[in-house]
Amino acid sequence: MADIAEVTQDLPPTAAASRAEEPNTVPRMAKSPSRSGRERRQVCPASQQRLVVVSNRVPVPKDGSNKAGGLTVALEGALKQSGGLWFGWSGETVENPPGEAKMVQSGNITFAVLDLTKQDYDEYYAGFANRALWPVCHYRLDLVQIERHELDGYFRVNHAFAASLALLLRPNDVIWVHDYHFIPLASELRKLGCKNRIGFFLHIPWPPPDVASALPAYGRLLSSFGAYDLVGFHTPQDAENFQQCLTRENIGSSVGPGEHQIDSHRMRIGAFPVGIDIDTFGKMAAAAEDNALVRRTLTSLGNRDLIIGVDRLDYSKGLKQRIEAFSCFIKSNPDFRNRVTYIQITPKSRSDVPEYQQMQREIAEQAGWTNGSLGEVDWTPVRYVNRTVGHSALAGLYRMSRIGLVTPLRDGMNLVAKEFVAAQRPEDPGVLILSRFAGAAHELDCAILVNPYDTEACGAAIARALQMPIEERRERWATMMERLRSNTVQAWCQGFLASLRSVSVESTGLFIEHDTRTNWSVPPETPSP
Ligand code: F6P
């Protein structure tokens, strides 16, 4: 993120300051309250409502290069429509972070990012977000670490981010908060008087009450969701789990599917499965047939079929079970020895978190052991690579694979599954083997769906996929493509925002004392004695 500082420092101070969006720092009394003594917020057309996206990672443009993936491109598209602000963490830890965000302007999008102290990083990101929320939301109660100071750090960072964001907000901004790092952000913003529409989208699963309630400060976290106008999940199952959690904790009451009343506030809850840009990805895959890495890989395979897995190194991805399943497949189908190669591309992830360090050791050991016991002098069954591969080369590798192995133990959506399908050759498509516990299985039910814990069944699924007749492969692929086409990433973005923008003003409880010039509510005047 040095680039952000560099770009900002290159500007004369006045220009840098003018990039900030007229901060609304000073609460002002409303001069002429309406007859009821309360002023109602004006609703302005969507085209005039600026979009504010909040996420832990922010794709601040660097050196004019565009490495953005589909989700980022879609969000940037939405931000460009009415001008926008993308706010979050800079990715940097420093000793004394400045209170204000560093700003980078790119067209009509402002990127605003905050540094964290090492303690903030340890407690908020590496701690509570990734050692409590992440395992619980992925049903791994055995891995949950409960540390009071990490919980405090999580709420502290959310408070600090809210305070900094508040300075940049305008009255008609629509705010879209992303993911588990920022669950309490809306409630922190509300405490500061923010009355804007605020939506939240969770990119990871939400478990049922018996699992979710293992979260430290469960009640406090759940209640803080009540500050959002719309809460979105990838699947109807996650949305239902969430509403059950609220009901079980007596937080408001359900007023029908997807509507929850909390005091005077009505919150909408819904499933918004994220999609991909299939046309762009399909074209990228076709073009990548000429990619140098793809060609070299193809040559190195000889006549062997390729089985591919691509995942961040994360215990939720089921890598241990997947390697076991591959091993089981080879042992039960000796005819396939030396006729297939399984490439597992797994960039390291969250290496500061002890559970991830341990996993790195275990998977590397398992891959080595599998090759040692199954391999031949002229055959390495598993090629395990801890490296990031560019999006375009990945698209080409998916296209030349006979099988895409996407077998997480639990996943919010899993876009690799969707990208694998979009990358295939229509006349000779590969087969997707997909975990029934990935959100993508709701839409891609024409994949071979597997239980990733059942390694024998997964091994059998590999054998079946390799022997699947071409007609069946084409049929399954065409149905999956239809599903993907009907729900692109752009449609996801528009659908969520349309739902958020349509939340009625009454249901957001906006009949408040409100300053029209800034955005901040003012306490009602105390009547004179
Ligand atoms: O799946 C949740 C998520 O936050 C994704 O949005 C993101 O791509 C991934 O995890 C990476 O996590 P991190 O930012 O911790 O590297």
For the ranges 28-37, 335-344, 362-371, the lowest mean pLDDT is seen at: 28-37
Burial of 391 (C-beta count, 10 Å sphere; 0-12/13-18/19+) = middle
**Residues near 284 by Cβ (< 8 Å), separated by ≥ 6?**
391, 392, 395, 423
Residue 510's pLDDT is 40
- Give residue 191 CA to ligand 1 midpoint distance, Å: 28
Determine the average pLDDT of the residues in 378-400: 96
Residue 68's pLDDT is 65
**Cβ–ligand 1 contact at 179 (below 6 Å):** yes
Examine the residue annotation and report whether 265 is marked as an active-site residue of this protein. no
Q: Candidates 131, 177, 179, 352: which one to mutate for ligand 1, based on the most atoms within 8 Å of Cβ?
A: 179
**Cβ–ligand 1 contact at 473 (below 6 Å):** no
- Give residue 251 CA to ligand 1 midpoint distance, Å: 29
Q: Facing residues of 109 across strands? A: 84, 106
CA 96 from chain center: how many Å?
Answer: 29
Ligand 1 atom 3, closest CA: 203
Asked if 185 contacts 162 with a C-beta cutoff of 8 angstroms, the reply is: yes
d(CA 49, CA 325): 51
Q: Which position among 138, 178, 181, 203 bears the catalytic label?
A: 203
Q: Which two tokens stand for residue 86?
A: 């993308």
Ligand 1 atom 15, closest CA: 350
Please give the number of the atom of ligand 1 that sits closest to the Cα of 71.
6
Determine the average pLDDT of the residues in 42-58: 82
Determine the average pLDDT of the residues in 473-478: 98
Please give the number of the atom of ligand 1 that sits closest to the Cα of 180.
4
Residue 202's pLDDT is 97
Handedness of CA 150, 151, 156, 158 (dihedral sign): positive
Structure confidence at residue 308 as a pLDDT band (50, 70, 90): very high
Ligand 1 atom 9, closest CA: 312
Exposure string over 224-251, b if 16+ CB within 10 A, otherwise e: bbbbbbbbbbbbebbbbbbbbbbeeeeb
**Cβ–ligand 1 contact at 203 (below 6 Å):** yes
Q: Which amino acid is at 191?
A: K
Q: pLDDT, tens digit, for every residue of 208-227?
A: 999 999 999 999 999 999 99
Examine the residue annotation and report whether 514 is marked as an active-site residue of this protein. no
Q: Facing residues of 106 across strands? A: 109
d(CA 127, CA 148): 10
Asked if 457 contacts 450 with a C-beta cutoff of 8 angstroms, the reply is: yes
Asked if 408 contacts 435 with a C-beta cutoff of 8 angstroms, the reply is: yes
Please give the number of the atom of ligand 1 that sits closest to the Cα of 349.
16
Asked if 408 contacts 438 with a C-beta cutoff of 8 angstroms, the reply is: yes
Q: Which DSSP helix (H) or strand (E) runs through 270?
A: strand 265-271
Residue 165's pLDDT is 97
d(CA 436, CA 358): 26
d(CA 286, CA 392): 10
Residue 19's pLDDT is 26
Residue 99's pLDDT is 78
d(CA 194, CA 177): 14
DSSP assignment of 193-212: T--SEEEEE-SS----HHHH
Q: Which two tokens stand for residue 99?
A: 């209170």
**Cβ–ligand 1 contact at 57 (below 6 Å):** yes
Q: pLDDT, tens digit, for every residue of 432-449?
A: 999 999 999 999 999 999
Residue 18's pLDDT is 29
Exposure string over 338-350, b if 16+ CB within 10 A, otherwise e: bebbbbbbbeebb
Residue 389 main-chain phi, psi, to 5 deg: -110, 135
- Give residue 305 CA to ligand 1 midpoint distance, Å: 31
- Across the chain, mean pLDDT equals 87
Q: pLDDT, tens digit, for every residue of 183-215?
A: 999 999 999 999 999 999 999 999 999 999 999
Q: pLDDT, tens digit, for every residue of 479-517?
A: 999 999 999 999 999 999 999 999 875 555 443 333 333
Q: Which position among 115, 238, 411, 515 bears the catalytic label?
A: 411
**Cβ–ligand 1 contact at 348 (below 6 Å):** no
**Cβ–ligand 1 contact at 483 (below 6 Å):** no
- Give residue 389 CA to ligand 1 midpoint distance, Å: 17
Q: Facing residues of 431 across strands? A: 403
